Structure 1
Amino acid sequence: MMEKALDLEILSLEGLKTFSYLEELILDNNLLGNDLLLPRLPHLHTLTLNKNQITELESLLDHLAEVVPSLQYLSLLGNIACPNELVCKEKDEDDYQRYRYFVLHKLTNLKFLDTRKVTRREREEALIRGAFMKVVKPKDAKASSAAASASPESHYTPLPSGSRDLTNHREITMPFKHYVRKPYLSRLQILTHIK
């Protein structure tokens, strides 16, 4: 009689507290997200978190730097936080390389990141530019549209305040039409006369 293997997806790592001498931890294909909290594992040198639900990179890296100081191999493939063109078609090799510089800036002891060995050149670039390679996510479209409707006065517009009123548009366009009829005026002169 064959035993059926259960597919259990891990949500929490709370039970790892008792394994303080753990050296390798493979947590691929689970439901671990941004609330991931590892206990202090000073001997852990290999951690794979492939195909989880991690979207926030910086907080994860700060946490790992604190609790796993001996980490040398890290893999985050298949998470939104890892901009891999195989997972997300909008990402390219440049996005992935910026991600690598940022990770190497935060975790300076890494020898391997995802499936690639860390090169000397990458390590040097991470020291120089890694802090500036953080990927900033745009605000939620719903939140930004709600803010726009809440305070319409706060948005920048290059037009004078009188042009915001739709009933007042002829006062602004009439002088411009007058100067457009004079072909000898340059664009700069037209703009000067309008002001």
Structure 2
Amino acid sequence: METSHINDFALSFEKKRLSYCGQDCQKIPSALWKMYGSKVTYLDLSYNSIETLKGLENFTELEELILDNNKIGDSVCFPLMPRLRTLSINNNQITDLDGLINKISVKFPSLTYLSLLSNKACPNQLSDLDKDDNDYQRYSAKSVFPGLPASVVSGAAAGGDARRVHARAQTRCRRPGSAAALRPVGETLTCRLQLAGKT
């Protein structure tokens, strides 16, 4: 799909929330950032074929970014986004958890929520028959990095005591809110870990 043009029927913009889903884009259409870049705090680009985030830096006020069901891999380059608090990259092609955490800890200093479900880097005991509790424990231990401002990785289950103590965090599970209903997420519970004192 040509990225300089957009499908107006697939575009939704209301109250600083922009969604452009299911359009088979390999990159962010330039028309989106030219028209909406400085106006958007929430951006949902789910169900495309996005491989690169070129142009994302033009969304200067972005606080929440949803990139579920794309083709984002380990080589992706994230721009510096000091306001970003929520990043969802479920069902992509992330295999290197260490590399991803290192990138986002530098590029997203305000991040408090990260979801990686259905990536190779995030073992899921419920749907991956070849994964066991040991795989999840290794993932859980890696997902808490001192450089990350919050313990933010969601997974198939809530983290153990050592994970919470290490992060000085409390764990809350919640169903995605009405805003998340704009994208198909089913009845999955999302686990959110946050640092004491952070909201």
Normalised-by-shorter TM-score class: 0.5 to 0.7
Deviations 1:86-105 (A, max 9, x none): 34322112321221221112
- 1:45 and 1:114, CA in 2 relative to 1: closer, same or farther beyond 3 A? farther
Structure with the largest fraction of helix? 1
Larger radius of gyration between Structure 1 and Structure 2: 1
CA contact (8 A) 1:71 1:110 kept: no
Distance 1:119 1:76 in 2: 18
- 1:120 and 1:88, CA in 2 relative to 1: closer, same or farther beyond 3 A? closer
Structure with the largest fraction of strand? 2
**What one-letter code is carried by the residue in structure 2 that aligns with 1:62?**
N
Q: Post-superposition shift, 1:85?
A: 2.0
Q: Which residue of 2 aligns with 1:76?
A: 116
How many percent of aligned residue pairs carry the same amino acid? Answer: 42
TM-score of the pair, normalised by structure 2: 0.55
Distance 1:17 1:112 in 2: 23
CA contact (8 A) 1:84 1:93 kept: no
Deviations 1:101-156 (A, max 9, x none): 211125351356246666764232469xxxxxxxxxxxxxxxxxxxxxxxxxxxxx
1:96 pairs with one of 106, 112, 136: 136
CA contact (8 A) 2:125 2:156 kept: no
Runs (5+) with no aligned partner, structure 2: 1-8, 11-21, 25-47, 169-199
- 1:93 and 1:117, CA in 2 relative to 1: closer, same or farther beyond 3 A? closer
Runs (5+) with no aligned partner, structure 1: 128-195
**What one-letter code is carried by the residue in structure 1 that aligns with 2:130?**
E
- 1:118 and 1:72, CA in 2 relative to 1: closer, same or farther beyond 3 A? farther
CA contact (8 A) 1:52 1:79 kept: yes
